[in-house]
Chains A and B, each alone.
Chain A
Amino acid sequence: DSGVTQTPKHLITATGQRVTLRCSPRSGDLSVYWYQQSLDQGLQFLIQYYNGEERAKGNILERFSAQQFPDLHSELNLSSLELGDSALYFCASSVEREYSEQYFGPGTRLTVT
């Protein structure tokens, strides 16, 4: 158990819908990262927050957005969902902004039908 929690574990929804994925980092960690992993693909970095502020953006679509709240939990919002958005979405956290290993949550498996 990494100490990072993600909800829900599974999500099935239809095309065109909007969903919100939630992540709580390990106690004391200030950085939160979001990743997308499609079937048999590598990790695609989406976005990073550090202590409430956006730190870095990766390959995140305009239909996707995220935020980190004062209690440091984070939410990833996915809208106008397409079949290709079906994937595992991981959240990770680290204690510092740099030089720190990331601890991953168990992921949310999103299926868009």
Chain B
Amino acid sequence: GQNIDQPTEMTATEGAIVQINCTYQTSGFNGLFWYQQHAGEAPTFLSYNVLDGLEEKGRFSSFLSRSKGYSYLLLKELQMKDSASYLCAVMDSNYQLIWGAGTKLIIKP
């Protein structure tokens, strides 16, 4: 079967750095997406990785290792507004997005 694993919840301090991991087992791979979702709101696109390596976009970076079936989202200089759920999604060989359950990130002052 297809499976995406993320930690259920993480806590970090304002101004710090946090890494949210995602491991996946899917039938084929055509890219990995990270989305941010504030409670009760729509998910918003953060990043897309299809090749191994690190993609940096401001305070957010996303890393991919296809051989290990592993990705992480790195958030730097955490702000209170970063409190949200972070969803990892993998596009499989049929170009369907398989979604993880999401990681709820709690930022404390």
By a CB distance below 8 angstroms, the chain B residues around A22 are: none
By a CB distance below 8 angstroms, the chain A residues around B97 are: 45, 102
- Establish whether residues B41 and A42, one from each chain, have CB atoms under 8 Å apart when the complex forms: no
For the residues of A in contact with B, the DSSP-based class is loop
A5, chain B: closest CB distance, angstroms: 11
Give complex CA distance A86, B97 in Å.
Answer: 23
Residues of chain A at the chain B interface (Cβ within 8 Å): 2, 41-45, 48, 56, 58, 88, 90, 97-99, 101-107
Residues of chain B at the chain A interface (Cβ within 8 Å): 30-31, 33, 40-45, 48, 50, 87, 91, 94-97, 99-102
Closest CB pairs A-B (n = 10): A104-B42, A42-B101, A98-B95, A101-B45, A43-B99, A104-B43, A56-B96, A42-B102, A106-B42, A42-B99
